[in-house]
Amino acid sequence: MPRSIQPRSALGVMIHKRMQDKGITAYELAKSTEVVYETVRKILNGQQPPSKRLLREICSFLNLDFEQAYRTLVHQKLIQKHGREIAVLSKRNPELQPLEDSWLLLTTQQKQHVIWLVEKYVQDNSNPTQ
């Protein structure tokens, strides 16, 4: 019995979620894209990004938006290579980089909870009691 694959990258989460929605296993995805199971497993867990050609085949098989998937892949590669420098170069707050890196891994509901938590902290800081 195959062990469960835990996606650890935004692209992995995107692909894995679509696979679950369609009831497709990693073995079926590997067979349809003519790669070995291990390649699919590494793509899903973030160990090995797919080539552009393979990503296009995966998106075609899963009916995923290739442009969005490719942007996610490029973002993932930039973060791995340059880390916090991306925030500095784009004149964003580097302290927010860990949050931005994880944002794509969150569900819509989890994102809303994070926003509510931040809003609550701002409210508490704006209205000190005592």
pLDDT tens-digit map of 58-77: 999 999 999 999 998 998 88
| Residue 108 half-sphere exposure toward CB, CA atoms < 13 A | 0
What pLDDT digit, counting tens, does each position of 23-55 carry?
A: 999 999 999 999 999 999 999 988 899 999 999
**Which is more confidently placed, 105 or 45?**
45
pTM surpassing 0.85? no
Q: Provide the token pair at 85.
A: 């420098």
- CA gap 82, 102 in Å, rounded: 16
Q: Which residues contact 114 (CB under 8 A, 6 or more apart)?
A: 99, 106
Residue 57 confidence (pLDDT): 97
Domains identified in the chain and CATH numbers: 10-126 (1.10.260.40)
Percent of the chain past pLDDT 70, that is, above it, reads 94
